[in-house]
Chain A
Amino acid sequence: MFKKVLIANRGEIARRVLFTCREMEIATVAVYSDVDRRAVHVLEADQAVCLGAADPVESYLNIDKIIAAARETHAEAIHPGYGFLSENAGFAERCAKEGLVFIGPPARVINDLGDKITARNIMIKGNVPVIPGMIQSESDPAVLAEKATEIGYPVMIKASAGGGGKGIRIVNTPEELQASCEAASREASVAFGDGTIYLEKFFTRAKHIEFQILADGHGNVVHVLERECSVQRRHQKIIEETPSPSLNPELRAEMGSAAVAAAVASRYVNAGTVEFLLDENNTFYFLEVNTRLQVEHPVTEMITGIDLVRQQLEIAAGNPLILSQDDIVARGHAIECRVYAEDPANNFMPSPGKIAYMQEPTGPGIRNDCGVYSGFEVPVNYDPILSKLVVHARDRETCLPRMVMALKNYILLGIKTPIPFLIDVLESSPFQKGQIYTDFIERHFSEWQPRLVEADMARIAFIVDEMNANRRKKTAVLSEQTVSTPFATLGGWRL
């Protein structure tokens, strides 16, 4: 096993990797940008190397600097986490060239699966069902219009190099097609440096079900069950759970086999996730493979007892999988809520700022993979995830109140969070019944505002606090972050 690993990421996921490394007695090297000197991963790693300016291009996306940091600290391997360089084939290749182990799939696999069209073709050859759509990218409007008619509206425009909901457009009528294709291509171009697009059938009432896979360098492949990730806002998952309330054992086995087939077809190595779309007739289609550790990996860990980061490290070190498919058995139910610095009542606008006070929920079956702390200033420069709150209980019915309780006991002052929104979603009748589709939020919660049922208690708390105001150290009053304006409009997501 490696003696030292560099973690090329920040916040909660860097800390997550750090935990497992420490347990395996692997020394850790954190890297950080100028604004992250006080970030948890820097405080907790054995060593930390400053990369440079806040802009990711100068720090977390800067391959040369990261390689230099690994050299300087004599790290043997690099864990990329998720986001940043985790699905960058060039980075994986560079690591290999430098004699460093990239903890993830080989560059070839990242390349093949990163190009959505290539991935579709691999899956078709591997007998993995794919969504009706184009098998090559296109820029000719006439061809696109013809294909769209062939597939049948609504269609979805996707970026060939895409991921994370970027460069995606849904087109309902032929009239919108051309403008949408141009916009999507432009957005993809900005986000990925590649404006290539293609079309797929769009399913209005679909579910997003994904399977965790593990594949070693010796030809062993297993799937580690599914995750239900249909609850999304702006194509980004916010609540994930496992087992999926939509699968029965037969369908689970069938989709699990397809996930393994996808891994085999792409000659996959390390941990990955095969994403499927499940339509209302329980027919499933391959969507894409995420060639990295997934944000929502903890729900799988909770129900299987498997440490996925440890598996990644073992595989990267060349060890064979010790798990066989029969060893992988679910126990109970797990749910994850992503807690972002954002305002759920205002279109999920980011809400960076200083965390004046934080208190994490605790209790049996509660895990909070957290990247921030009281007094930490959440930087404006990166993804707004603060933590992933995960609960585990014997079944879904028990899991739901446990998560609601945990959310109510999760105190974050100084920034806005989706906590009240998440509570309302979890307590809603369609969620409780498992009627979850990718349009869940738009359908049920598009005009969501917090229910201010305890306003009178809040007024009383105000008065009591005011009467005892002198007990608190006077801190500089935080700057205004609450005014909503109709003149701010949301744009696309940047990498």
Chain B
Amino acid sequence: MSADSSHGTDASVDAVEHALGAEHEHPTWSVYWKIATILTVITVIEVWCYYLPGFVSTAFFVPTLLALSAAKFVIVVMFYMHLKYDHKLFRVLFTGPLIIAMIAITALLFLFGKLAIRTGLLT
């Protein structure tokens, strides 16, 4: 783009704008297929967990499922949404709100006693 050459270039200009440099290589087709396989495998494991009564009743069940779905989430965002390869700005635009959203969910679950802290005080 012709405009690129004319826009600010000195090093002191802030990081957000210039940390990226040129666009990175996008993943190739085979990577996409591999990722799809990984996603499928994780999903299978998740559903499998669900059908293990012995596991469901343990304290590990929920964290395991959360970790597995978080892994899927991250993989899709990083590769399919190519956040890993894209401008840092997008990472900020996405993760900032995502963090606020997760904190809000967690705080709300605490407030409604879904993640309880027992204190023996008035509630």
Report whether chain A binds chain B: no
Give residues in B with beta carbon < 8 Å to A.
none
